[in-house]
């Protein structure tokens, strides 16, 4: 796939996966609309994208703000004509005590960002993609969305919801020229996982994860999950009866 001049609407571009993906796509000549809340970090990523050969626009935006995200998509379209690919990547881990303690306000925050933020982003780009009969929606979900996990109710629910939402949208728009890809990583070294004390099996470096994400987008895969070892374990977990799953997963020392 030729990324040159492809227009990408990328949420959560100020750090971690979003930052690394932006820079890698910029190297391939893509045009990037970079969204996140922290202006200084976003500006740093924008400069790096431009330095490596891409074109980038930084747009400070909270994905929970529907009006702002619509305005951001309009800004990108005004500048570059249309949007080819949405990467709905913005997310938080919900690793704080309030969220783990199931405080409804804290849980709502995780769902608002991880799930409804992606809903907002899809709403901002999809109508124009359908009108053109061309486009690609990419959701950065997680293997944590496959089944419930200990101490992860909010995060796991947000990613399970994201999987179901993207898949449902895919059913609604099939044969209309817009592809839908759901990406389910395991653990990747980013600021999100840096704060975790627990063991993270098969923890990946960003340099290993980004090519897998790009490959899934290029091939327009419906689902992509990695690393394969954790993906296989989660796949077996999905098939387990609840009594067995509760005994095994309930004792696992990892989450997300
Ligand atoms: N790292 C992993 O192991 C892993 C595994 C599976 C899935 N994921 C998913 O991958 C995505 C990226 O995570 P990461 O690991 O790269 O974490 P990260 O480094 O913390 O990056 C999260 C990004 O999301 C942005 N963001 C958070 N809340 C936002 C909001 N309300 N509005 C706009 N942007 C917001 C952050 O920017 P600002 O704070 O500047 O807004 C930041 O750019 C998340 O959806 C995460 O769930 C990560």
Listing DSSP states for 131-159 in one string gives HHT-EEEEEE--GGGSS--TT-HHHHHHH
Q: Residue whose CA is closest, atom 31 of ligand 1?
A: 62
- Tell me, in angstroms, the distance from the centre of ligand 1 to residue 27's CA: 21
Q: Residue whose CA is closest, atom 23 of ligand 1?
A: 12
CB hemisphere CA count around 28 (13 angstroms): 17
Query: Is the CB of 139 inside a 6 Å radius of any atom of ligand 1?
Result: no
- Per-residue pLDDT of the chain (256 residues), as tens digits, is 999 999 999 999 999 999 999 999 999 999 999 999 999 999 999 999 999 989 999 999 999 999 999 999 999 999 999 999 999 999 999 989 999 999 999 999 999 999 999 999 999 999 999 999 999 999 999 999 999 999 899 999 999 999 999 999 999 999 999 999 999 999 999 999 888 777 889 999 999 999 999 999 999 999 999 999 999 999 999 999 999 999 999 876 554 4
Taking the C-alpha atoms of residue 205 and residue 223, their distance in angstroms, rounded to an integer, is 21
Q: Residue whose CA is closest, atom 29 of ligand 1?
A: 90
Q: Residue whose CA is closest, atom 34 of ligand 1?
A: 36
Query: Is the CB of 17 inside a 6 Å radius of any atom of ligand 1?
Result: yes
Query: Is the CB of 185 inside a 6 Å radius of any atom of ligand 1?
Result: yes
Concerning whether 245 is annotated as a catalytic residue, the answer is no
Query: Is the CB of 193 inside a 6 Å radius of any atom of ligand 1?
Result: yes
Tell me if 210 sits within 8 A of 17, measured CB to CB. Answer: yes
Taking the C-alpha atoms of residue 249 and residue 235, their distance in angstroms, rounded to an integer, is 13
Tokens of 252: 């696992």
Helix, strand, or coil (residue 109): helix
What's the pTM value of the predicted model, to 2 decimals? 0.97
CA angle, residues 219, 220, 222, in degrees to nearest 5: 120
Query: Is the CB of 203 inside a 6 Å radius of any atom of ligand 1?
Result: no
pLDDT for 252: 61
Query: Is the CB of 219 inside a 6 Å radius of any atom of ligand 1?
Result: no
- Tell me, in angstroms, the distance from the centre of ligand 1 to residue 68's CA: 18
pLDDT for 250: 83
Taking the C-alpha atoms of residue 64 and residue 86, their distance in angstroms, rounded to an integer, is 16
Query: Is the CB of 101 inside a 6 Å radius of any atom of ligand 1?
Result: no
* Residue of 11, 17, 157 best suited for mutating to test ligand 1, as the one with most atoms within 8 Å of CB: 17
- Tell me, in angstroms, the distance from the centre of ligand 1 to residue 119's CA: 15
Taking the C-alpha atoms of residue 162 and residue 196, their distance in angstroms, rounded to an integer, is 23
Query: Is the CB of 59 inside a 6 Å radius of any atom of ligand 1?
Result: no
- Tell me, in angstroms, the distance from the centre of ligand 1 to residue 114's CA: 9
Q: Residue whose CA is closest, atom 7 of ligand 1?
A: 142
Tokens of 212: 């897998």
């Amino acid at each position: 796939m030729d990324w040159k001049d492809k227009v990408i609407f990328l949420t959560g571009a100020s750090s971690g996966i979003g930052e690394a993906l932006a820079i890698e796509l910029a190297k391939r000549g893509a045009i990037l609309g970079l969204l996140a809340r922290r202006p200084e970090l976003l500006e740093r990523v924008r400069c790096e994208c431009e330095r490596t050969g891409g074109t980038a626009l930084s747009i400070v935006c909270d994905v929970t703000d529907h009006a702002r995200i619509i305005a951001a998509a309009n800004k990108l379209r005004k500048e570059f004509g249309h949007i080819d690919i949405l990467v709905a990547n913005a997310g938080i881990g919900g690793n704080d005590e309030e969220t783990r303690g199931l405080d409804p306000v804290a849980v709502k925050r995780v769902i608002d960002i991880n799930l409804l933020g992606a809903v907002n982003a899809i709403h901002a780009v999809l109508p124009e993609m359908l009108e053109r009969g061309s486009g690609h929606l990419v959701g950065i979900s997680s293997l944590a969305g496959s089944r419930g996990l200990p101490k992860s109710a909010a995060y796991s629910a947000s990613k399970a919801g994201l999987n179901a939402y993207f898949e449902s949208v895919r059913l609604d728009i099939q044969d209309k020229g817009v592809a839908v890809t759901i990406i389910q990583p395991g653990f990747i070294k980013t600021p999100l996982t840096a704060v975790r004390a627990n063991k993270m099996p098969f923890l990946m470096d960003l340099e290993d994860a980004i090519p897998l994400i790009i490959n899934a987008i290029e091939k327009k895969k419906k689902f992509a999950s990695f690393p394969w070892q954790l993906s296989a374990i989660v796949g077996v977990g999905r098939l387990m009866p609840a009594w067995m799953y509760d005994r095994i997963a309930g004792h696992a020392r990892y989450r997300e």
